[in-house]
Amino acid sequence: MSEKKKTVMSLSVEPEMHALLKKSSLKMGWSTSQLVRELVNKYLDLIVQDEDIVPVILRIPGKIKDNPEQLRAWLQIKEDAIIKALT
């Protein structure tokens, strides 16, 4: 992110969300503010879109990510479910 002048913004979150943000920012080596900025930059376009697209986010289990056969089978199940949900 470029070092443009930033506007200060206040944000209210539940204590659990605050703890998760702090834990996540420490894991990334970022400040909590930087993490929130990165998350907003990355996901805001899912809400405000210029194109007629349907975003789909998949959370792939870590235990199958290195096994092509298991990953392929898992993705096939998800593909079928996405097609069913969209048609």
3 state SS for the chain? CCCCCCCCCCCCCCHHHHHHHHHHHHHHCCCHHHHHHHHHHHHHHHCCCCCCCCCCCCCCCCCCCCCHHHHHHHHHHHHHHHHHHHC
> pLDDT per residue over 3-45, tens digit each?
778 888 898 999 999 999 999 999 999 999 999 999 998 888 7
Taking the whole predicted model, whether its pTM rises above 0.95 is answered as no
For residues 45 and 77, state if they share a domain.
Answer: no
Token readout for 77 is 């199940």
Q: Identify the domain containing residue 1 by its residue range.
A: 1-50
CB 74 within 8 A of CB 61: yes
Q: For residue 28, give every residue at least 6 positions away whose Cβ sits within 8 Å of its Cβ, in sequence order, or none.
A: 35
For residues 62 and 45, state if they share a domain.
Answer: no
For residues 36 and 4, state if they share a domain.
Answer: yes
User: In whole numbers, what is the pLDDT of the chain averaged over residues?
Assistant: 90
For residues 86 and 62, state if they share a domain.
Answer: yes
Structural domains counted in the chain: 2
For residues 2 and 30, state if they share a domain.
Answer: yes
CB 74 within 8 A of CB 60: yes
